[in-house]
C-alpha cells in the first residue's frame, strides 16, 4: 500500500459525523463541536415566484390544528410550528419542539403582533410577521384579527417561504379558522 492520500479536514468531519449519525459505534460522542466551514445563503432571500397554478391550490378541510400544522410544516419546510390562542397560550405544536415548549416564545410573539397593530390603524390588523434573530427565524400568521385579537400560527426556521407559499398559508388559515376555533 502506498502513502495514504485521502486524509483531509473534510474527511475528519465526515468521520465524526458518520460516527454520530449512525449511532451504532459504542462510545461515540453524541455531538461534535465542529464549526461549519461553509457559507450559508440567507434563507430570507427573495425567491422566484413559482408557477401561477400553485396559488390556485385547492383548500384543505382540516378539522384539527395538528392537521393544519403538519400541512404547514411541509409547505414551508419549517423545523417546528405552533398555534397561539387569542390569550397568548400555545394550544398546539408540531415538529422539532424544544423541551420547554413554545409557551414563552408564543406569548411574546402574540404581544409583538398586537403591538404592531397600533403602528398605524389605517393599515388594519397585522396578518403576517417575519422575525430574524441571530440564531432563529420566526414567522407568524394571524387569523380573525377583527378587534385586534386572533389565533396566531407560527413557524420556526421556515425554509420554503416565498410569496406564493405565504399566500397559501394565509388562505388556508382563513379557510380553516372558523372550524378550528
Partner 1 sequence: MSHRIVLASSKGGSGKTTTALNLSVALAERGHNTIVVDLDPQGAIGLFLAKEDSDWGGLAEVMIAGTPPSEVLQSTSLPTLRILPRGRIDPVDTCEYELQLHRGEVLSRTLDEIEEGVDYVVLDTPSGLGPVTRAALAVSRFALLPLQAEPVAFRTMSQILRVIDHVQQNENPSLRLLGILPTMVRLDSDPSLNVMSAVWSGFGGVLDTVVPRADVFTETSEIGIPLSFLGGRTRPEARRFTLLSDEIEARINRMTGVEDDNEHRRLV
Cβ at position 36, least distance to partner 1 in Å:
8
Q: Sign (positive/negative) of CA torsion 68, 70, 75, 79?
A: positive
Site for partner 1 in 45-104 (CB under 8 A): 50-51, 71, 74-75, 77, 79, 96
Q: Does 13 bind partner 1 (CB under 8 A)?
A: yes
Residue 102, Cβ density class (10 Å: 0-12 exposed, 13-18 middle, ≥19 buried): buried
Reduced to 3 states (helix: H, G, I; strand: E, B; else coil), residue 129 is strand
Residue 153, Cβ density class (10 Å: 0-12 exposed, 13-18 middle, ≥19 buried): buried
Stretch that binds partner 1, among 14-22, 83-91, 112-120, 137-145 (CB under 8 A): 14-22
Cβ at position 38, least distance to partner 1 in Å:
8
**Residue with Cβ nearer partner 1 (13 or 116):** 13
**Residue with Cβ nearer partner 1 (34 or 91):** 34
DSSP 134: S
Site for partner 1 in 124-163 (CB under 8 A): 157, 159-160
How far apart (Å, rounded) are the C-alpha atoms in residues 89 and 110? Answer: 9
Site for partner 1 in 25-44 (CB under 8 A): 25, 28, 36, 38
**Residue with Cβ nearer partner 1 (105 or 114):** 105
How far apart (Å, rounded) are the C-alpha atoms in residues 18 and 167? Answer: 40
Contact 104, 90 (CB under 8 A): no
**Residue with Cβ nearer partner 1 (79 or 167):** 79
User: Residues with Cβ < 8 Å from 70, sequence gap 6 or more?
Assistant: 94
Binding site for partner 1 (CB under 8 A): 1-2, 4-8, 10-11, 13-15, 17-25, 28, 36, 38, 50-51, 71, 74-75, 77, 79, 96, 157, 159-160, 165
Amino acid at each position: 500500500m502506498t502513502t495514504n492520500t485521502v486524509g483531509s479536514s473534510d474527511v475528519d468531519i465526515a468521520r465524526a459525523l458518520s460516527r454520530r449519525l449512525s449511532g451504532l459505534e459504542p462510545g461515540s460522542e453524541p455531538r461534535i463541536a465542529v464549526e461549519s466551514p461553509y457559507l450559508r445563503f440567507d434563507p430570507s432571500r427573495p425567491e422566484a415566484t413559482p408557477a401561477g397554478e400553485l396559488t390556485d391550490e385547492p383548500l384543505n378541510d382540516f378539522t384539527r390544528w395538528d392537521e393544519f400544522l403538519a400541512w404547514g410544516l411541509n409547505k414551508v419546510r419549517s423545523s417546528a410550528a405552533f398555534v397561539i390562542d387569542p390569550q397568548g397560550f400555545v394550544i398546539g405544536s408540531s415538529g422539532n419542539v424544544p423541551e420547554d415548549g413554545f409557551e414563552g416564545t408564543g406569548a411574546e410573539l402574540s404581544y409583538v403582533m398586537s403591538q404592531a397593530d397600533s403602528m398605524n390603524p389605517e393599515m388594519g390588523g397585522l396578518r403576517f410577521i417575519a422575525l430574524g434573530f441571530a440564531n432563529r427565524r420566526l414567522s407568524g400568521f394571524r387569523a380573525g384579527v377583527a378587534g385586534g385579537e386572533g389565533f396566531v400560527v407560527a413557524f420556526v426556521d421556515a425554509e420554503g417561504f416565498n410569496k406564493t407559499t405565504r399566500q397559501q398559508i394565509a388562505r388556508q388559515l382563513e379557510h380553516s379558522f372558523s372550524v378550528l376555533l
